[in-house]
Amino acid sequence: MLVSALICGVLAAGLLWYAGARADRELAVHRHRVQATTTGPAREPPAAARFGMKPQAVAPAVWEQPVHVRRSGSIYVPPRTPQGRAVPIWVDDAGVPARPPGSAADRALTSLSGGFAVGGVIGVTGAGVVLLVRRRAEGRRLAAWEREWEQVEPVWSGRPRRGSGAGSDDD
């Protein structure tokens, strides 16, 4: 069961890697890195930054995408970014700020965690099946032992068998 869990985990990780790479390639075709220029000072975003994330602020900015089409909006920038600073951003085909295409590190983390999850689920399921089969087999073994003990115990202990003796119909 452990070997099958390992094999399934490796297969799942490989499939996740392949699917992620394909999705990132397709996404990269529609993502463009452009320079935006801030038109105002950076301010803290309304939601608090989560633990472990790099700190970011929001600033108004302008950029061109597609070429010669001027866009404006709020973008994420490093804290205390002054007005007039050039900041690289990712935009989609329409020029709207978008997340960048996935990196190999992100894909590796997703693949490994997915592979471990699949392997773990199969391993735990297999252990549960083995436990249930062993418990059922032990129950049958104990029932058989009980039946055999009913046969042997009266002879071994010297007591009369059940249903034999004074007042029984077996005489």
pLDDT, tens digit, for every residue of 124-146? 999 999 999 999 999 999 999 99
pTM exceeding the 0.85 threshold for the entire prediction = no
pLDDT, tens digit, for every residue of 143-166? 999 998 888 888 777 776 665 555
Asked whether residue 169 is assigned to any structural domain, the reply reads no
At which of 81, 99, 117 does a domain end?
Answer: 99
CB neighbours of residue 125 within 10 Å: 12
Q: Are residues 46 and 88 in the same domain?
A: yes
Q: Are residues 95 and 57 in the same domain?
A: yes
Q: Are residues 111 and 130 in the same domain?
A: yes
Asked whether residue 165 is assigned to any structural domain, the reply reads no
The pLDDT of residue 51 is above 70: no
pLDDT value of residue 132:
96
Asked whether residue 168 is assigned to any structural domain, the reply reads no
Q: How many domains does the chain have?
A: 2
CA–CA separation, 5 and 50 (whole Å)? 34
Asked whether residue 166 is assigned to any structural domain, the reply reads no
Chain centroid to CA 111: how far?
9
Asked whether residue 167 is assigned to any structural domain, the reply reads no
- Lookup result for tokens 């394909």: 22
Q: Are residues 105 and 140 in the same domain?
A: yes
Its domain, for residue 72, covers 32-99
Q: Which amino acid is at 47?
A: A
Q: Are residues 79 and 61 in the same domain?
A: yes
Element (H, E) at 38: strand 32-38
pLDDT, tens digit, for every residue of 3-46? 999 999 999 999 999 999 999 999 999 999 999 999 998 887 65
Q: Are residues 36 and 88 in the same domain?
A: yes
pLDDT, tens digit, for every residue of 55-106? 788 999 999 987 888 999 999 898 888 999 999 999 998 889 998 888 899 9
Q: Are residues 36 and 116 in the same domain?
A: no
